[in-house]
Amino acid sequence: MFDHAYGSYMKYAYPADELMPLSCRGRVRGQEPNRGDIDDSLGKFSLTLIDTLDTLVVLNKLDEFEDAVRKAVKDVRLDNDVVVSVFETNIRVLGGLLGAHVMADLLHQRGDRMQWYRDELLHMAKELGHRLLPAFNTTSGLPYPKVNLRYGVQNPNSRTGTESDTCTACAGTMILEFAALSRMSGESVFEEHARKAMDVLWERRQRGSDLVGTVINIHNGEWVRRDSGVGAGIDSYYEYLMKAYILLGDNVFLERFNTHYSAIMKYISQPPLLLNVHMHNPTVSVRSWMDSLLAFFPGLQVLRGDLKPAIETHEMLYQVTKQIFFNPVVHWGQHLLRPEFAESTYYLYKATGDPYYLRVGQSIVEKLNAYARVPCGFAAVQDVRTGAHEDRMDSFFLAEMFKYLYLLFSEKSELPIDIDDYIFTTEAHLLPVSLSTTQPPCQEEDLFTHSCPSMETLFPNNPSFAKTIRDSYKYLTGVGRAFRPLPVRCVQSQRVFDFRVESAMEPRFNSCEHKGVYRVKLVAEVSQTPEEEEVVPHVVQLISPPFLGRTVLTAGPAKFGMDLSKQEHGVKGSIVKASPYTACGPIDNAAELKGCIALVLRGDCMFAAKARRLQEAGAIGVIFIDHREGSNSEETPLFQMVGDGDSTEDITLALVFLFSREGAVLTAALEEHHNVDVLLLPKEKQLGHEKPVGMNIKFRLAEEGELEEGPAGRPTLELVLEKEEVLLEEEELRGQRQSQQRQQFCTKATENDRTEPCSADSSQALNSGPDANP
């Protein structure tokens, strides 16, 4: 599988950043339609090659590794005039260069290959580190979310630096790579900046709950989004606290992690669920669904030594994968070949030795081959309901998925390195634990507080231990036999064919008496199914010159916001592109949007979150455009957008959804004509679309001369039949009538009111008499 994916990238895409597996070509930023923030991972630095380097070593492809390093050293440039995500560039490119340098240096020291290597990858890593440093030039010490590789942040040519917010994970997922770079290069500045960012996040935690929020202002350190969980936006901050202790040996990181972890287990973890709560009021759940990124958390719990909740959450996620192709990504039934579930499966197998987790891994392999494999690689699944693909193979698929799967099925003796000498970054790059500068003493009174958990000591190879825990959650999602509740918590399940794990957290009281009952169902932002309700097609109708209503684009409706079916003439307005295009951050062009209809790219945050921001900016409507290339209303079923699990009564503006192809027509019209007015309304109400008129018409034969004698100007409908046709019709009608009468039963009035069949005589009688002819 790896050979197919990596070989396809090298054959069809290199030196591009990514492979487009359906088009069999490389994705070059600026040459393909803009996908919004997703493209901020692409820096024209052969992303997939660099992200894959240390995977080649783990899979024992040492010749390919040496060849790939030569290519990276010769071809890759890091000074491109392109704006990239600081977070993604750090974990994928800087981490990839450092992990590859560690592997190249190891092979060089062994003396049998890489003898030409002179730390070239480390020099590249140091150059990249210096190009990322300008992002830390803020008053708080939290980094900007984006940086221009050539011009930095505040240079007039940088085209960035206006952002005010960043996610917690974005600021808190730098310490492993930056500290490793400092310790390998001797330049302490990298580690200092990463530590400062971690310190700010720690200081800004909510002291009452010890939780952090999801989005923070990089200038004043104030929280912008106060929802707290372990999924998207926060996930790797917690991961890097734990792993920074393992890598660097600094107790500060472990103490902070343990404080946060206690809060997580108190407020967020409700096995098998992991909730999102308000950081200031953690007893209040702020959303009722789980995103797929938190599938990494059971693996982190294994590192922590907390095996029971890790098994519980992992088992719940596995039950989800058995109903649909994979763990889908938050909001919609999409799967981007994400590796987090495979990562946790690997950790649980290493911790328990339970062959059950080998079977879980086998199911991942089989589903990838069945649903994602295409002739030119592996393609993300655009819609797990239909199996439709997206022209996308992210670099992390090669960096992480194959690494964890290969390690899951391999014995230590089969690997070219001792895997226990390394810690995995969040992108699964390998950094040596020998970088630690301090060795804390073992505290006998608390064996596991300051040491990595020992599989032999903490988790004896006892498969029945994990099985006992799993069995309580085996039928959680409603597949198979009825669920039998645990003694402590009852779980009531319902089967809904949708795609994100949702917990309706209001307690219910039934057979569980006074114990809280948690309903678990699978839901998605695309939650409507054809069997449940009909989607009413809407349209975006271009009404300004030169279109004048002739261009009509099929659109999907929303379950929240203005009910366009109750608006007699729809909603009319000029369209304006939102900035940022995804509307997942503060709106930069609010003045332009006021009183207009906003164009917004789907992705990165919920429909409802985008709508709220744009409503605050003064927009009267929003047209969401699908970011999945090539999607269109002819080939993809329309769906209704739904909210984010919270109340959406505050959202009152008009909302519709266009697939990519229809959206391209609209954006092209805006680029060409600048001022474009549209109508948003149900399809049946579009301008120029007249409903068929139904009417009843009575016919009678007119008497000869009647029409000529009638009132002048009276509306008439005259049907003229030639005499021969009339006679023919009469003959046919008479024959049909006689045939039908012969088949009927005649009712004879008798003393006993019996019904008897007609006799031959009575049949003949039907055709006799003076009125036989009509």
Q: Give 672-684 pLDDT, tens digit per residue.
A: 998 999 999 998 8
CB 272 within 8 A of CB 312: yes
Q: What is the pLDDT of residues 518-540, one digit of tens each?
A: 444 444 333 333 334 578 899 99
Write the CB contacts of 313 (distance below 8 Å, at least 6 apart in sequence).
269, 271, 272, 273, 274, 297, 298, 301
Q: Please name the helix (run of DSSP H) or strand (run of DSSP E) that holds residue 656, with its range, or none.
A: strand 654-658
Q: Lowest mean pLDDT of 215-224, 414-423, 630-639, name the range.
A: 630-639
Contact assessment for residue 171 and residue 197, using Cβ atoms and an 8 Å cutoff: yes
What are the DSSP calls for 736-769, one per residue?
HHHHHHHHSPB----TT---BPPPHHHHHHHT-S
419 vs 403: CA distance, rounded Å: 11
- C-alpha–C-alpha distance, residues 711 and 589, integer Å: 67
Instruction: For residue 196, give the nearest of 233, 171, 164 by alpha carbon.
Output: 171
> 321: annotated binding-site residue?
no
How far apart are the C-alpha atoms of 97 and 407, rounded to whole Å? 21
- β pairing state of 289-290 and 490-493: unpaired
Average pLDDT over residues 45-67: 97
Q: Which residue has the higher pLDDT, 246 or 491?
A: 246
Confidence label for 504 from pLDDT (cuts 50, 70 and 90): very low
- Residues 6+ away with beta carbon under 8 Å from 288: 502, 503, 504, 505, 645
pLDDT band for 513, please (50, 70, 90 cuts).
very low
Cis peptide before 546 (omega within 30 of 0): yes
Q: What does the block give as tokens for 612?
A: 């709220």
pLDDT tens digits, residue range 555-612?
999 989 999 988 888 999 999 999 999 998 889 999 999 999 999 998 878 888 899 9
Rg (CA), the chain: 34
The model's pLDDT over 619-636, given as tens digits with 9 standing for 90+, comes to 999 999 998 888 888 888
pLDDT band at 718 (very low <50, low <70, confident <90, very high): low
664 residue type, one letter: A
CA distance 557 to 637: 12
pLDDT at 489 over 50: no
- The per-residue pLDDT of the chain, averaged, comes to 81
> Residue 665 gets which letter from DSSP?
H
Peptide bond just before 580 cis, omega within 30 deg = yes
Residue 290: which pLDDT band, with cuts at 50, 70 and 90?
A: confident
Portion of the chain with pLDDT greater than 70, in percent:
75
**What burial letters (b/e) apply to 139-169, b meaning 16+ CB within 10 Å?**
ebbbbbbbbbbebbbeeeebebbebebbbbb
CA gap 618, 598 in Å, rounded: 10
Mean pLDDT over 746-770 rounds to 42
For the beta carbon of residue 571, count every other beta carbon within 10 angstroms.
Answer: 18
Tokens of 575: 């369209």
Distance, C-alpha 508 to centroid of its chain: 30
Distance CA 128, CA 187 (A): 13
Out of 76-85, 139-148, 280-289, which region has the weakest mean confidence (pLDDT)? 280-289
586 in the Ramachandran plot: left (φ > 0), alpha (ψ -120 to 50) or beta? beta
Place of tokens 């720690």: 202
Sign of torsion over alpha carbons 733, 736, 738, 740: negative
In the chain, the domains with their CATH numbers are: 1-163 (1.50.10.10), 181-290 (no CATH), 538-682 (3.50.30.30)
How large a percentage of the chain has pLDDT more than 90?
A: 57
For 315-339, write each residue's pLDDT tens digit: 988 988 777 655 544 334 555 688 9
Confidence of residue 730 (pLDDT cuts 50, 70, 90): low
150 touches 79 (CB < 8 A): yes
The answer to whether 503 touches 290, Cβ cutoff 8 Å, is yes
Amino acid at 430: L
How many angstroms separate the CA atoms of 436 and 433, rounded?
A: 6
Query: Residue 455 above 70 pLDDT?
Result: no
Which spans in 400-449 are helix H? 402-409
- What is the average pLDDT across 10-36? 94
pLDDT of residue 485: 36
Higher pLDDT, 16 or 478: 16
Work out the number of other CB atoms within 10 angstroms of the CB of residue 341. 25
Model confidence at 475, pLDDT cuts 50, 70, 90, reads low
Cα 50 to chain centroid distance, Å, stands at: 25
Residue range 719-726: mean pLDDT, rounded: 56
Residue range 387-411: mean pLDDT, rounded: 94
Please report the pLDDT score of residue 10 as a whole number. Answer: 98
Q: Are 622 and 598 in contact (CB under 8 A)?
A: yes
Structure confidence at residue 245 as a pLDDT band (50, 70, 90):
very high
